[in-house]
Amino acid sequence: MKNGQIFAHKSTARGRLDLEYLDETSGRKLGLRERADLDQQIGKRLKHFTEYASKESLGQVHAGGFLHDHIRVNPDGTSTAPARLSNAERKRRITDSWQVHLARFPSNAKRPVIAHRLIFSMSTEQHDALVSAGINPDQVLHSTMKKVMRKFAEKFHPGDSIGYAYGLHHDTAHLHAHVALCPRTAKGKYVGCSTSRFSRARHKRQMDVIKTWFEKENQRWERILSSPQGIEQAVSQRIDSDKLVFSPQLNRFQLEALRQTQTAEAIRLQQSYQSIRNLEAAIAAKRRFLAVQRDANFVSRLAGRRKPKFVRTVEKLAAVVDRRSLREMQSLLFKITRGYRAAHKRYSQTYGFNAYANRSTIAHSHRQQGHKLGVHHL
């Protein structure tokens, strides 16, 4: 696909660690956009943004690699999954863990590298093609970024682990991800991010390798998006299928329009939409339950407490059943969502769904204004 996902930029940070640029809603990022005369309304430049992403996902900074495990440990020795921490707490813990880690492996350089800054970007062409197919561009870029970072660690630091922090941004013309890469592995080895114009240079040319990985991912997504069958087969087999597909949102005026219509098509559309919302809530609850179990097991391992063999066997079997149940729920959500998207499209084209909802909105607004004027005259 033309200009799909690319490795757009790399820079080096020295002096001190500042993760605020990873947060698209931070004061620093807002200030930069103001000085650059960019639109401050996040997501306005991206088409269909409100269909697949929520305001709650904006500004989130996450940890990857060994940092993900470091920040889950609480001061009292317990464990909390990073996803359950507030964004501010995650940023604070990442910064603290980063600084402690670098202090363990000091550099002799006058101005040592604090972080490598990488930017991975998605073209408008690929973004719009994904949205048209009902696939969440955020999740595609997120999963591609994590795959690339995993391959980076396996190729250049086998038997070791890298640490990084990242955040997705929607505040420019292109969806992109900011990544801060720690310059030391879990075992203290230096993490290089070099490129070279010369084939015989001693540098490992890590950035050139990253570009080839993105090109392969773009070719893969081009094949997937080339046919509806390819989309169904590829997406349904993914473990994140419930996150990858999205359903068009219905605002309260559109929902009210459907209730007033009460045709068979309108009723089915309402029921499908409600089924999606209910199933999403159930999946989120199941994930929270599994996260609590993982936290408890993590703390048990840290404390060196070994449970009886019978208990461990029962817990493993229960975990297998829970994971299988979650997978079945995800598969069901994928099927319902795909069916809902098709029904939503047919309803919109046949009955003027959006136009009807908009008329309801305007009529409701006019009634409110008339009521206010009547009260004023009284």
In tens, the pLDDT along 105-120 reads 998 888 899 999 999 9
d(CA 374, CA 364): 15
Q: Evaluate if residue 256 carries a pLDDT over 50.
A: yes
Mean pLDDT confidence for 351-378: 47
Q: Where are the alpha helices (DSSP H) in the chain?
A: 27-35, 49-52, 66-70, 87-104, 124-132, 137-156, 206-225, 228-236, 241-244, 252-261, 264-303, 309-351, 353-377
Mean pLDDT confidence for 254-275: 84
What is residue 328's predicted lDDT score, i.e. its pLDDT?
Answer: 85
d(CA 238, CA 130): 16
365, 366, 375 from 371: Cα distances, Å: 10, 9, 6
Out of 18-22, 54-58, 93-97, 334-338, the most confident range is 93-97
Phi (first) and psi of residue 80, to 5 degrees: -130, 125
Phi (first) and psi of residue 370, to 5 degrees: -65, -40
d(CA 325, CA 133): 27
What is residue 362's predicted lDDT score, i.e. its pLDDT?
Answer: 40
Q: Single out the residue of 59, 67, 73 nearest to residue 95, CA to CA.
A: 67
d(CA 36, CA 10): 20
Q: Single out the residue of 258, 259, 253, 262 nearest to residue 365, CA to CA.
A: 253
79's tokens: 């464990």
Q: Evaluate if residue 53 carries a pLDDT over 90.
A: no
Q: Evaluate if residue 358 carries a pLDDT over 60.
A: no
What is residue 55's predicted lDDT score, i.e. its pLDDT?
Answer: 67
d(CA 217, CA 5): 8
Contact 95, 16 (CB under 8 A): no
Q: How confident is the model at residue 140 (pLDDT cuts 50, 70, 90)?
A: very high
Q: Which residue has the higher pLDDT, 134 or 351?
A: 134
d(CA 206, CA 305): 41
What is residue 361's predicted lDDT score, i.e. its pLDDT?
Answer: 43
Entry pTM? 0.76
Q: Evaluate if residue 63 carries a pLDDT over 90.
A: yes
Q: Residues 6 or more apart from 283 whose CB is under 8 A from it?
A: 242, 326, 329, 330, 333
Out of 60-74, 196-210, 312-326, the most confident range is 60-74
Q: Evaluate if residue 92 carries a pLDDT over 80.
A: yes
Q: Which residue has the higher pLDDT, 188 or 251?
A: 188
188's tokens: 């203290």
Q: Single out the residue of 244, 260, 275, 282 nearest to residue 343, CA to CA.
A: 275
Q: Evaluate if residue 200 carries a pLDDT over 60.
A: no
What is residue 255's predicted lDDT score, i.e. its pLDDT?
Answer: 81
d(CA 242, CA 282): 12
